Structure 1
């Protein structure tokens, strides 16, 4: 049976987690709306209604807060990618499904705002680019490389450097549609996302000798 001390401790931890999530939500909105440089720990603390010291107890620096915001934003998606990248006899369809999901993600409103933030701030604040890369592109490339290494080992695709293959597929997805969305001259639609995914897997599949399926 749970003791009174354990119940009290559990409630205290739950309150701490609720507070942490509230901080991350306010910080995410501030970073996306105001940019990295214009976001201050003091302003976030004021919006939350607590002391600045409380905020610093959770996140000792703006860099750590920004990193935590990105970690929260990418954790669920990494799990989704992990579920998508399951070994399958129909590798073409698996990669097509990945491309659809990835292009949909990177052309979403929050992702576009984040990419613009990184591009505008990284020259003055190199840590912003470093944090973003370590929390978003790098883990995705690593997951893809591990997946491709397994597929190459069983002969489902041409043997090559799996890391290069992962980067190549990522670049194909970060292509025409994503650039136009970032530049503000196009809006993603199910049709344009599908066309971009089909084009990416077509080029990648031919480059790595992947058997084409009847996937649509």
Structure 2
């Protein structure tokens, strides 16, 4: 007498089902891009029913938006200022910049970047979603910190919001661009050295004298 392997027990709670669909959709989009992605293959990866999948996400476009929104939310939660122990501007910016850089250069964020370059014109709402869910909260957190340091007399800044954007551009944009064009992924030591150099450039002229 033969026995069949027991199937894994999967939660039927809506949030758990939604996560499984997004897992399947993200794997498909990252493997094939949006245009070549197949809802049939997503359904196979999901291993659920087609009515269930399309009840949560009526279209492939809706699935793509859900994937991008989840990636954005993960980045925002990964950069948690509460976990940074340094309180001085240089130490805090080093830790904050490294958290931001390590996450934004992850495979799933580089995937979002490639989709923005390749198909962004077709999905303006996705770019706006990513900026609203991920980028703007990070910019606001940094701007608040710069403002607090300025009020404490530790740095000088005429426009904390603009300086926050400048720091993120300086620290993140070049590294992301190089990865988008196929450059080798830097190791952790190289990322730390890059962030340290950017922090020094940024603080030059802003430290209180």
| TM-score using structure 1 length | 0.78
Q: Deviations over 1:47-87 (max 9, x none)?
A: 42444332232234444433332333333432332335769
Q: Cα gap change, 1:113/1:141 in structure 2, threshold over 3 Å: closer, same or farther?
A: same
SS of aligned partner of 1:111: helix
By how many angstroms is 1:21 displaced? 1.3
Look up the match of 1:151: 149
- Separation in structure 2 between the aligned mates of residue 176 and residue 56 of structure 1, nearest angstrom: 39
Which of 29, 32, 41 is the equivalent residue of 2:30? 32
- Separation in structure 2 between the aligned mates of residue 80 and residue 208 of structure 1, nearest angstrom: 27
By how many angstroms is 1:112 displaced? 1.9
SS of aligned partner of 2:121: coil
Q: Cα gap change, 1:190/1:82 in structure 2, threshold over 3 Å: closer, same or farther?
A: closer
Alignment of 1:89-168 (within 5 A): 89-168=87-166
Q: Cα gap change, 1:65/1:97 in structure 2, threshold over 3 Å: closer, same or farther?
A: same
**Conserved 8 A contact 1:24-1:65:** yes
SS of aligned partner of 1:123: helix
Tell whether 2:206 aligns with 1:208: yes
**Conserved 8 A contact 1:88-1:94:** yes
By how many angstroms is 1:186 displaced? 2.5
Look up the match of 1:182: 180
**Number of equivalences:** 200
- Please list every run of 5 or more consecutive structure 1 residues that lacks an aligned counterpart in the other structure: 1-11, 212-216
By how many angstroms is 1:150 displaced? 2.3
| TM-score using structure 2 length | 0.80
SS of aligned partner of 1:26: helix
Q: Cα gap change, 1:152/1:25 in structure 2, threshold over 3 Å: closer, same or farther?
A: same
Look up the match of 1:172: 170
Look up the match of 2:13: 15
Look up the match of 1:53: 51
Q: Cα gap change, 1:168/1:207 in structure 2, threshold over 3 Å: closer, same or farther?
A: farther
Look up the match of 1:6: none
- Cα RMSD (Å) of the superposition? 2.7
Which of 185, 196, 199 is the equivalent residue of 2:197? 199
Q: Cα gap change, 1:33/1:149 in structure 2, threshold over 3 Å: closer, same or farther?
A: same
